[in-house]
Structure 1
Amino acid sequence: MSSSATLDLGAESQLSDKKAVRTQLHSLLSSLPSDHVQRQSINATNLLLSLPEYQNARSISIFMNMPRGEIDTSILTAHALSSGKRVFVPYIYKPKQPRSDNLPASIMDMLQLADENDYASLQPDKWGIPSIPKDTVSTRANSFGGKGRSDGDSPTSDAQDLDVILMPCMAFDQHLNRLGHGKGYYDNYLTRHCSAKTADGQNRRKPFLVGFALAEQMIPSQYRLPVDPWDWKVDAVVLGDGGSEAKLVRA
């Protein structure tokens, strides 16, 4: 199944309407059969496991997938935990108010999973996404340092430099631009992470950013996604590719 056969993005190569692209992709992805998604998920996971950036990573952030229309990250999460990697997952919440800066109404931290049993104990939220229970948040290591929520504060001296971050999306293009779900959680997180300094005053290292997606989420090569100045590109995209193999797009 191919996005080029289904999406109607018009004649202009430079797309301008993020909302329109999201609407089309949402309709397409929600219609995909579960076995089609699962086949792509297995193929893409096998390819990702072969990448040196993953193999050499000591810490990784993995998004938890929706039950339909999104690539399945469960096999990858289990592999990373069993391999001894430190696995962090997104935790979205409303920070303490008031604040003097322009902090969004909701922000995302990355909190650590303890082990495979901890991962298996996650319960689905209202969207069906496995989620960290609120009553365990205060005990979990935060990639920004310390335990529990950061509430928008800058990373501390004991912050974790994540080696790899898997990025969800609505769409990617061949230029490694990413169209997210419109909330800006990952863009905000990366800006907070990379604008902070380490304990010795050095710039914090940027993680290797991997788009992990279904083949249908890569728009046809003649198009370029609309981007804003605050949007982060990824370093590589791993796609299920819809067939018997997966596909890697990287700079």
Structure 2
Amino acid sequence: MTSQKRELRRAMRAARLTHWQALPATHRALIFGRPPRAILPLIEPAEVVGLYLSVPGEVPTERYAMHMLDIGKMIALPWTREHAGPMTFRLWTGSAETLVKGPWGPQPHAAMPEIIPDALFMPLVAFDSGLNRLGQGGGHYDSWCAAHPATRRIGLGWTVQQADAVPIDDHDMPLDAVITEQQVLLPINERTFP
């Protein structure tokens, strides 16, 4: 299982970065402006929405963050003291001045209050039609989601990151939805929206 995940991560990271690099910067800035209507039932009840600050290759989240703030949501970003974790979430006001350098990149200052997202937009390396997610491999999101199972989990990825099947372990939790630049994937008993 570990070697399957490692090989899939390697292939999907390469595909993700190649796809991202092929997109004109102006195009990258326009997509993922606001969440699609199909997932509004997952985020409308949420007071706190968790996001991540994207790195090159990942789906950009800046416009989602601004949209959430505009509609009155509180934003939470991942926070860790060290690479090994554990990961928590802290309030983010949307201002770059409230960010500091963390082990994985910019994160809220430690003085910002810790909060628990009701809905969480998560980065991913790969996903499948069963809404299984393959992350970076550190287990930060898996551990956090296991401790907070009521939080709605929404993956953000590029279409090229969809795999036929993501290898899963017993502790892996499926997502509630996946959003790509072309579609929204919802659980089997719900409709898939183009």
TM-score, with normalisation over the residues of structure 2?
0.82
Aligned residue number for residue 98 of structure 1 = none
Work out which of the two has the higher radius of gyration on C-alpha atoms and give 1 or 2.
1
- Trace 1:54-73 onto structure 2 (pairs within 5 A): 54-66=43-55, 68-73=56-61
| Unmatched runs of 5 consecutive residues or more in structure 2 | 188-194
Aligned Cα RMSD in Å?
2.7
Secondary structure of 2:34's aligned partner: helix
Once the two structures are superposed, residues 205-232 of structure 1 have per-residue CA deviations (whole angstroms, 9 ceiling, x without a partner) of x11110111111112xxx2110011111
Aligned residue number for residue 99 of structure 2 = 122
Aligned residue number for residue 23 of structure 1 = 10
Aligned residue number for residue 176 of structure 1 = 131
- Closer, same or farther in 2 for the Cα pair 1:88/1:126, shift >3 Å? closer
Query: Taking CA–CA contacts closer than 8 Å with sequence separation of 6 or more, which of the two structures ends up with the larger relative contact order?
Result: 1
Secondary structure of 1:46's aligned partner: coil
- Trace 1:73-222 onto structure 2 (pairs within 5 A): 73-94=61-82, 105-113=84-92, 115-116=93-94, 118-119=95-96, 121-122=98-99, 129-132=105-108, 136-137=109-110, 139-143=111-115, 160=116, 162-194=117-149, 206-219=150-163
Once the two structures are superposed, residues 64-104 of structure 1 have per-residue CA deviations (whole angstroms, 9 ceiling, x without a partner) of 110x111100001111122221111001224xxxxxxxxx9
Secondary structure of 1:84's aligned partner: coil
* C-alpha contact 1:59 1:85 (8 A) present in aligned 2: yes
- Trace 1:18-57 onto structure 2 (pairs within 5 A): 18-32=5-19, 33=21, 35-36=23-24, 39=27, 42-48=30-36, 51-57=40-46
Q: Tell me the distance in 2 between the aligned counterparts of 1:21 and 1:64.
A: 23
Q: Tell me the distance in 2 between the aligned counterparts of 1:38 and 1:213.
A: 18
* C-alpha contact 2:49 2:74 (8 A) present in aligned 1: yes
Compare the two structures and name the one with the higher strand fraction: 2
Secondary structure of 2:75's aligned partner: strand
Secondary structure of 2:167's aligned partner: coil
Secondary structure of 1:53's aligned partner: helix
Once the two structures are superposed, residues 118-137 of structure 1 have per-residue CA deviations (whole angstroms, 9 ceiling, x without a partner) of 3465356686x4322xxx31
- Closer, same or farther in 2 for the Cα pair 1:107/1:49, shift >3 Å? farther
Task: Give how far 1:53 is off.
Answer: 2.1
| Unmatched runs of 5 consecutive residues or more in structure 1 | 1-13, 95-103, 144-159, 195-205, 242-246
- Closer, same or farther in 2 for the Cα pair 1:80/1:184, shift >3 Å? same
* C-alpha contact 1:37 1:70 (8 A) present in aligned 2: no
Q: Tell me the distance in 2 between the aligned counterparts of 1:36 and 1:216.
A: 17
Tell me the matched-pair count. Answer: 185
- Closer, same or farther in 2 for the Cα pair 1:36/1:212, shift >3 Å? farther
